Structure formats: C-alpha cells, structure tokens
Amino acid sequence: MKPMFAALFWPRSLVVMCLCVLGVQAASAQTFKMPCQVEGVIPALDDRKIPPEKVEVEIQSLGKNIFLKVNGSKLYQVQASSLTTDDFAGKNLTSSKQMGAQRKHQLTGLMSEIRIERETVTLYAFNDIIYRGKTVRLQFEGPCTVPAQ
C-alpha cells in the first residue's frame, strides 16, 4: 500500500510546491534603483543649503500603487507611495511628464513627495521635518543616471 500512496502523493505535492513558488514570485515587486546627485535647501531657514550628496532612488510598482524611496544620509531619507493606509494618505503623481508619489501622515500632517521628470530624468523631492520644535520643509533636487540594463 505504501508504494501506491507515494506514487499518488508525490506528483501532487510537487505540483502544489511549484504553484506556491510561482505565487510568491508573482506577488513580489522588482525594485529599480537609480543613482542621483542632489542638493538640498530649507526655505524656511533663510534658504539654508544642505551639502550635496549622491543618493539612490528605489522605484517599485505593485498593482496600481507606486512606491518610491530615496536612500542617502539622514536628511536625504524620504519615502512616498500612492498607497493609503490608516497612518498615511498616499497620492499617485504619475503623468506623461513625470513619475511620482506623495504621502501625508494622517495624525501629524507631515508630508513627503518624490517626483522624477521623465524627459530630463531629474529628481525633485521634499520632506517635512521637525527642526527645533518647528515643522520645516527640506527640498532637494538633482540629475539622475539611468543605469545600463
């Protein structure tokens, strides 16, 4: 009886395992990474300049939502997505001229936005931060380089 049970069970378990692996791969989003050279300014602090820096932009699309993240030093860390949750209201800013997203924290009202102009591949972003107990907006922009595929 055991060999017959194994003969029936093994092919079915293999099919189930393959479907599980394919399902996990279909649910994951591929991340596109792009380096950018940016320079920031805080307009509320007499246009205080932030030192230029090389950052990396991560772009993901999952379903109808877009997720953007800027990785750099502490001041250049920004996240934005079109996904709306209990904590954040997201907005998709993608059009024929740009790709982008904006998010606003539901309780604090702090906002962040990341946009990439399609024609010039220029990054524009802002992030509301708390500076000495006051909310100020850090804005930065700069050219990006599309990596060779």
Question: What pTM does this model have?
Answer: 0.79
Residue 126 confidence (pLDDT)? 98
Report pLDDT digits (tens) over 1-44. Answer: 555 545 544 445 444 444 444 444 445 679 999 999 999 999 99
Report pLDDT digits (tens) over 52-89. Answer: 999 999 999 999 999 999 999 999 999 999 999 999 99
SS3 83: coil
Report pLDDT digits (tens) over 75-130. Answer: 999 999 999 999 999 999 999 999 999 999 999 999 999 999 999 999 999 999 99
The CA distance from 20 to 82, in Å, is 28
The CA distance from 2 to 44, in Å, is 77
Helices assigned H by DSSP within the chain:
2-27
Stated as kind and residue range, the H or E segment containing 112 is: strand 111-117
Assigned CATH topology for domain 32-143? Porin (2.40.160)
SS3 29: coil
Residue 24 confidence (pLDDT)? 43
Residue 148 confidence (pLDDT)? 75
Radius of gyration of the CA atoms of the chain, in A: 22
